[in-house]
Structure 1
Amino acid sequence: MLRLPAPVRGLGLSDAPRALELCGRDPITNVFVAARILEGGMAGGRNSVLGYERDGRIGLCWTSANVVPVELDEDMIEPLAAKVTKRRAWASSLFGPVDQVLPLWETLAPQWGPAREVRRNQPVLTMDLSPSLLGVGADPHVRPATVEETDLVVPAAAAMFTEEIGYPPYRGSDRAYRLSVGALVRAGRSLVRIEDGEVVFKADIGSVALGVAQVQGVWVHPRWRGRGVAVPAMAAVVEHILDHLAPTVTLYVNDFNGPALATYRHVGFVQTGTFATVLL
């Protein structure tokens, strides 16, 4: 068990194995935090993870630009929220399981509110079968973007972000944003279909941990929507992940995005949970 001298403290590198074990109780739900830990999020004294332990029960909270709870019981919310607000004056969002995020936000809201938007019903969709076994063909033109194509991927990623969140991902210089997009490209985790020098489909594999890969940033160019691009393209993304990265694929989607929900269900995804996101 984690040795916590107080109910809540910042965790360090030595706590990483136990933190990953806790994430492993529900690897689909906790893949984002598990991936950040594996990428070094608990190294260097940054204490991006807060831990709570009492009476043999443990919960975690990722506290960086995003705040993400992990396996929190109701009585853990208030003391963790108090520690979060001491460490951070603001975050860009909270997201994760609806039954943890909404109570956490209720506690944080007096210090951080009001929210720009609260998305209370985001189906978590998952699949571990090849779409081809379900009769869904994959688009052969979908592939990992190359480093030389980063200049094409950046505007597509920015367009997706703006549509999804409601404001652009950067103001002024795009240098920091290009670095984050470029990191995904260099890792082979930005999958694209490119036609005539333009990205017409893009999906990112944002987190990989504990046998699970989480897809994010799915986008079809507006001129290509309604032309049957999305289903085979997403099937290709799933096939790539199952062949190269993880045996389980997951993502979460806004309940009001009917076309996206229809696409994912056509490919073979089924709902395994519900997230909520608070945008600040």
Structure 2
Amino acid sequence: MLRTQSGLRVLGAQDLPEVLDLLAADPVRNVFVDYRARLTRLEPRWLGGEIWGWFRDGRLASVCHAAANLVPAMADEEALDAFAGRARKRGRTCSTIVGPRDQVEVLWDRLSSHWGPARELRWQQPHLEISGSSDVEADPLVRRSEASDIETLYPACVAMYTEEVGVSPEWDGGRDLYRARVAQLVSRGWSFARYEEGRVVFKAEIACSTPHACQVQGVYVAPDRRGEGLATRGMAAVVELARREIAPVVSLYVNGHNTAARTAYDRAGFRQTETFATVMF
């Protein structure tokens, strides 16, 4: 097969081994793109978009996930220029640009005059990892959610999303789609929560996973139970369960201004390895 010597092209199933080899150079920070590549096998109908590859001297050097989220991986400025150029021509189809801050900054610099204004810019999002046991005792009441928990779990998921994103996931007819996403995470065994008296007081989900790592999302403590250490001990439980049954390294990224969450993650044993950024539309 004729291979691109240098430049950008849309990747397909035949490129999957090369994509996975590239992402394996930094498998924790690249976990989202790695997960999506494995899940969809780079088939556009499953991606709901495309994955672009930047080639240099006939070898894949960078990739960019371009679907509901625009996510660069292993991209230098030359690759980011090419990705931004294709994104401008294609038009905005994503709800966020997210990834390592240095890469997101370049993309947004190239795209802001075409895709702006953004609804929100989050430039300080520490990326955290833990690859060993937590520093605190795990909460024994945190468990995997089950199908029978969804009626109780769903309101907490809506509350977390609305508080974090600033818009309800049910806005503009999104309820069925978001509820299906919650049910999907439960069915995969990726939802963890502490249930008390018919409600959720702590929860977290695994957003994506590969053989190398998984990424946590949706961490939430009921407002009237904050300050009790539920997040610290709850995250210790999530780390214990995830590392034993899902992936050896647990990661997440958090808003820099969220000092309560950052304190909880630090106490649970997470350590910063990168700074991420998110552009939200």
| Structure 1: runs of 5+ lacking an equivalent | none
> Counterparts of 1:222 and 1:6 in 2: how far apart (Å)?
52
Contact 1:97 1:275 in 2 (8 A): yes
Q: Which deviates more, 166-175 or 70-79? A: 166-175
Contact 2:22 2:60 in 1 (8 A): no
1:231-242 aligned at under 5 Å gives the runs 231-242=232-243
> Corresponding residue for 1:156?
156
Structure 1 residue 122: Cα displacement: 0.8
> Counterparts of 2:41 and 2:257 in 1: how far apart (Å)?
33
Contact 1:8 1:50 in 2 (8 A): yes
- Give the 3-state SS of the residue equivalent to 1:121 in structure 2: strand
> Counterparts of 1:49 and 1:201 in 2: how far apart (Å)?
35
Residue 30 of structure 2 aligns with an amino acid whose one-letter code is N
Residue 212 of structure 2 aligns with an amino acid whose one-letter code is G
1:35-184 aligned at under 5 Å gives the runs 35-40=35-40, 42-44=42-44, 48-55=50-57, 56=59, 58-131=61-134, 134=135, 136-171=136-171, 172=173, 174-184=175-185
Q: Which deviates more, 156-165 or 79-88? A: 79-88
1:261-276 aligned at under 5 Å gives the runs 261-276=262-277
Contact 1:122 1:274 in 2 (8 A): yes
> Counterparts of 1:35 and 1:173 in 2: how far apart (Å)?
24
- CA gap 1:108/1:143 in 2 versus in 1, 3 angstroms: same
What is the alpha-carbon root mean square deviation over aligned residues?
1.8
Contact 2:53 2:60 in 1 (8 A): no
Structure 1 residue 57: Cα displacement: 5.6
> Corresponding residue for 1:186?
187
Structure 1 residue 226: Cα displacement: 1.3
> Counterparts of 1:93 and 1:173 in 2: how far apart (Å)?
17
> Counterparts of 1:209 and 1:190 in 2: how far apart (Å)?
16
Structure 1 residue 2: Cα displacement: 9.6
CA deviations over 1:22-60 (Å, ceiling 9, x no partner): 111111110001011111151255552011112346110
> Counterparts of 2:101 and 2:44 in 1: how far apart (Å)?
31
> Corresponding residue for 2:216?
215
Contact 1:161 1:217 in 2 (8 A): yes
Contact 1:2 1:18 in 2 (8 A): no
Structure 1 residue 173: Cα displacement: 5.3
Number of residues of Structure 1 aligned to a counterpart in Structure 2: 277
Contact 1:90 1:112 in 2 (8 A): no
Residue 108 of structure 2 aligns with an amino acid whose one-letter code is W
Contact 1:24 1:210 in 2 (8 A): no
CA deviations over 1:226-269 (Å, ceiling 9, x no partner): 12211111100000011111111111111100000000000011
Contact 2:139 2:233 in 1 (8 A): yes
> Corresponding residue for 1:245?
246
> Counterparts of 2:12 and 2:190 in 1: how far apart (Å)?
28
> Counterparts of 1:261 and 1:36 in 2: how far apart (Å)?
27
Structure 1 residue 89: Cα displacement: 2.8
> Counterparts of 1:197 and 1:260 in 2: how far apart (Å)?
25
Structure 1 residue 191: Cα displacement: 0.5
Structure 1 residue 219: Cα displacement: 0.4
Structure 1 residue 178: Cα displacement: 0.7
| Structure 2: runs of 5+ lacking an equivalent | none
- CA gap 1:189/1:97 in 2 versus in 1, 3 angstroms: same
Residue 33 of structure 2 aligns with an amino acid whose one-letter code is V
- CA gap 1:2/1:270 in 2 versus in 1, 3 angstroms: farther
With normalisation by structure 1, the TM-score equals 0.94
